[in-house]
Amino acid sequence: MNVHDASLARPPLSVELADRIRAMIIAGELGGDEKVPEKALTERFGVSRTPLREALKMLSAEGFVQLVPNRGARVCRVTVTEVEEAFPVLGALEALAGEAAAARITDDAVAGIAEMNAAMREAFEATDMPRYFELNQSIHRAILAAAGNPTLTQHHQMLSQRVRRARYVANMTPDRWRQAMDEHDEILAALTERDGPRLAALLKRHLANKMRTVVRALTE
């Protein structure tokens, strides 16, 4: 790839900024109801206000920030109502993806998910939650990809991003964490057996249990 091709492949600056600010919000570096410090961010990223504000418009459309006229942007808080609305829909989408994936997935893709699941159990045993979450998300993305339905994946990704930060702030108890890990072992077994109805039911239950954990964290 020549320099010209590379420049064409690179996403616009506003998209890169949106990705970086979104990551800050998800990680809790920018908290709910906090004003987005535009001046500090322009200095941190070495950019002007124009692409930064374009990035904030994108994040507003995704539900990460609220644009307040003449007052800039504020980070949106994840509410119990939003979680209780979003997670059942996510569960339904993942159940649909599970049925489709069971019918279409290749042996190589199953082997890849099995490797990630084994690595996730190692992270669980080491109480390495960041690594556990990273592998967890990769497994769910792999199942969605195996379903081969871009529309389903797009809707799931958009909705999942809005509640992703809540998943990180919802500290799981040791018992719930072990339960979640065991649920992933069951999900892998159903996928390996190409049992679509069972996989769909497991994914739906897994999301329902996750919702209860998140709601508990938000109300406490």
Verify that 87 and 71 share a domain, yes or no: no
Residues 143, 172 within the same domain: yes
Are residues 181 and 97 both part of a single domain? yes
pLDDT tens sequence across 11-54: 789 999 998 998 888 777 887 778 999 999 999 999 999 999 99
Task: Give the mean model confidence (pLDDT) for residues 101-122.
Answer: 97
Decide: pTM greater than 0.85: no
Same-domain check for residues 139 and 200: yes
Helix axes 80-104, 129-147, angle to 10 degrees: 50
- Same domain? 117 vs 25: no
Q: Is the Cβ–Cβ distance between 106 and 61 less than 8 Å? A: no
127-176 pLDDT per residue, tens: 988 789 889 989 999 999 999 999 999 999 888 877 776 766 566 788 88
Number of domains in the chain: 2
Segments forming the whole domain that contains residue 215: 80-219
* Mean pLDDT of the residues in the chain: 88
Give the end-to-end CA distance of the chain in Å, rounded to a whole number.
52
Report how far residue 48's alpha carbon sits from residue 37's, in angstroms, rounded to the nearest whole number: 13
- Which of 29, 59, 75 finishes a domain? 75
Pure H helices in 1-128: 3-9, 13-26, 38-45, 49-62, 80-104, 107-125
Farthest-apart Cα atoms in the chain, separation = 57
